[in-house]
Amino acid sequence: MILNIAIGLVGLGVVVFIHELGHLLSAKAVGIEVEAFSLGWGRKLAGVSWRGTEYRISVFPLGGYCKMKGEQSYTKAIEQDAKVIDGEPGSFFAARPWRRIVTLFAGPLANLLFAIAILTVVWWIGFTVETFPNRIVLASEFAPDSTATAQTPAAAAADRAGLRTGDTVESINGRVVQTYADLQQIVAQNALKPLEFVVRR
């Protein structure tokens, strides 16, 4: 449980960091100055300035942020009831509209490209899907006196059909069965219909 939560938080942090990295790269590409780019949130632990941007490592290493020059000008204009937004040279609101659109859109685009890259690597390497094996386990053999088991139609049908615990189902009505999920799907699609099982005992 705790491990799953930790993995989820790390995953969320990576997604946010990639998103903010997209804003950083696009802002610099279109001439918008970036005052600070941080890995993590909160109090700054360390930092270095390079080409007008302070790159930081903050105390909470989840996600990050990209602080562009003048990005608070809109809020200040509203608070001061200003007619126009004061855009200093190199600030976000001094940039032409298309440059701002590119900068804002680059965050989601970075997430999309990152997801495509990860999925491509996963499919290239391959992965294993964990599922139950396609073997028969009769509940009646483990609880022969159970009223609930005796009244279960599926259990009774398996007994009458001569299936035994340990039988491996190879096919049903000619359809190959490789996993327990295959078995479930075929049986569900043919409810109340005769089924021909081929098993290996």
pLDDT in tens, 149-194: 455 555 567 777 777 787 888 888 888 888 888 888 888 888 778 8
Question: Does the annotation mark 88 as catalytic?
Answer: no
Which pTM was predicted? 0.62
Q: Would you state the pLDDT for residue 195?
A: 83
Q: Which of 20, 33, 71, 141 is catalytic?
A: 20
Q: Would you state the pLDDT for residue 41?
A: 85
Q: What is the DSSP string of the chain?
A: -HHHHHHHHHHHHHHHHHHHHHHHHHHHHHT--EEEEEEEEEEEEEEEEETTEEEEEEEEEEEEEEEETTTTHHHHHHHTT-SS----TTSGGGS-HHHHHHHHHHHHHHHHHHHHHHHHHHHHH--------SB---HHHH-TT-HHHHT-HHHHHHHHTT--TTPEEEEETTEE--SHHHHHHHHHHTTTS---EEEE-
**pLDDT tens, position by position, 122-136:** 999 887 767 677 777
Domains of the chain: 2-125 (no CATH), 139-200 (2.30.42)
